[in-house]
């Protein structure tokens, strides 16, 4: 008699959307868990683009050796407009059938999950998602793969900027990534000791920044760092600099730094490697248990399965406690 677990014999894995440090550790965990459970793993290169172009290769435990410590993704990543079309999806389905895949593990952000959901529903095909994005903007997990490493990169840069800011008595505006979410800004702002953190989730207007600068002026601070999420609603870091100049004249010597893509790369932190390894194993086990259309995550130290529909539609909330802590310690 065949059991649920016998039905999954071949699993394809891909990385899609923006790359994130730790994706390799997740690929490794998916491939090794497949081998452990007697499932044949297949690597799909360049996300959905590679699925459409049949860029698919059988993998084994050895294919993922020496990658746990590498940033980026050995499977490459891509954004695939074609996958949003009927023809693109049909071609992807043809290739899945050709390789006799029984399920997919997709590692990426909410766009990747939207694509997975549409494809899974259309062809009645089991797919499990693993959250991998430095922005951490995915509902259903405390942390996405890559976030922790990106924070460490940002804080290292902020520490360096602090040195020069202090030496010259400067006010720095530092823009960090995060798209519409302020998680990188908030965590790195606290960890980097920023005087002010501007995030889209809690827009307090430019007046708040003026007040804060006025207040800290009285304390004769030797440097001021303002961390700005790229999605902040008060304009770009250059706009902010301009507004501060208009308000205070030449009271502050201002500088702007946009950290940009350094935040995406680099060796994954141990935290990201462990998270990625856990989620990789869980994704394969979930498929063996007959789960589908879900994302695996860890919340409050517990394994959690979130429907892809929820993971894509809901936004994770900014923890009010973090905002409060940032306010208190930046007086």
Q: Which of 15, 24, 112, 153 binds ligand ATP (CB under 6 A)?
A: 112
Q: Which residues are annotated as a binding site for ATP?
A: 18, 79-80, 109-112
Q: Which residue, 188, 174, 148, is CA-closest to 230?
A: 174
Contact positions with ligand ATP (CB under 6 A) in 61-90: 79-80, 83-84
DSSP letter assigned to residue 263:
G
Q: How many CA atoms lie within 13 A of 260 on its CB side?
A: 3
- Helices of type H across 99-217: 110-123, 147-168, 183-191, 205-217
Burial 164-187 (b: 16+ CB within 10 A, else e): ebeeeebbbbbbbbbbebbbbbbb
Q: How many residues does the chain have?
A: 331
Among 21, 111, 192, 297, binds ligand ATP (CB under 6 A): 111
Q: Check binding of 141 to ligand ATP (CB under 6 A).
A: no
- Chain centroid to CA 318: how far? 15
Establish if 231 lies at the interface with ligand ATP (CB under 6 A). no
6 flagged as catalytic: no
Span from 110-118, 153-161, 185-193, 315-323 in contact with ligand ATP (CB under 6 A): 110-118
Q: Which of 6, 55, 124, 135 is catalytic?
A: 135
Compute the least distance from the CB of residue 105 to ligand ATP, in Å. 14
Supply the DSSP string of 216-252, one letter for each residue.
HHTTT-S-EEEEEETT-TT--HHHHHHHHHHHHTTSS
* Nearer of residues 80 and 152 to ligand ATP, judged by Cβ: 80
Is residue 118 at the binding interface for ligand ATP, with CB under 6 A as the rule? yes
Nearest to 26 by CA among 266, 265, 278: 278
Spell out, one character per residue from 20 to 59, where the chain touches ligand ATP: x when CB under 6 A holds, - when not: ----------------------------x-----------
Nearest residue to ligand ATP on Cβ basis: 111
Contacting residues toward ligand ATP, per CB under 6 A: 16-18, 48, 79-80, 83-84, 108-112, 114-115, 118, 133, 135
């Amino acid at each position: 008699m065949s059991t649920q677990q016998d039905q999954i014999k071949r699993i394809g894995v891909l990385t899609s959307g923006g790359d994130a440090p730790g994706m390799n550790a997740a690929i490794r965990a998916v491939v090794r868990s497949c081998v452990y459970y007697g499932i044949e793993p297949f690597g799909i290169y360049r996300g959905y683009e590679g699925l459409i172009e049949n860029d698919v290769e059988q993998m084994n435990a050895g294919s993922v050796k020496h990658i746990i410590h590498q940033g980026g993704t050995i499977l490459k990543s891509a954004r695939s407009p074609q996958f949003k079309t009927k023809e693109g999806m049909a071609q992807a389905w043809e290739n899945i059938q050709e390789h006799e895949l029984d399920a997919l593990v997709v590692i990426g952000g909410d766009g990747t999950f939207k694509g997975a959901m549409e494809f899974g529903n259309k062809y009645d095909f089991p797919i499990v998602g693993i959250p991998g994005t430095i922005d951490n903007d995915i509902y259903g997990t405390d942390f996405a793969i890559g976030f922790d490493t990106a924070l460490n990169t940002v804080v290292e840069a902020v520490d360096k900027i602090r040195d020069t800011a202090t030496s010259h008595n400067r006010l720095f505006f530092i823009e960090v990534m995060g798209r519409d979410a302020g998680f990188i800004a908030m965590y790195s702002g606290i960890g980097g000791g920023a005087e002010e953190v501007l995030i889209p989730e809690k827009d307090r207007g430019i007046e708040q920044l003026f007040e804060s600068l006025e207040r800290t002026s009285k304390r004769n601070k030797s440097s001021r760092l303002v961390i700005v999420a790229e999605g902040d609603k008060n304009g770009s870091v250059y706009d902010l600099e301009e507004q501060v100049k208009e308000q205070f004249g030449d009271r502050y010597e201002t500088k702007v730094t946009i950290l940009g893509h350094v935040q995406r790369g680099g060796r994954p932190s141990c935290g990201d490697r462990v998270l990625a390894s856990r989620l990789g194993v869980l994704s394969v086990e979930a498929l063996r248990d007959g789960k589908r259309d879900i994302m695996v995550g860890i919340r409050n130290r517990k394994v959690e399965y979130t429907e892809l529909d929820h993971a894509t539609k809901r936004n994770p909330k900014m923890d009010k406690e973090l905002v409060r802590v940032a306010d208190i310690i930046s007086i």
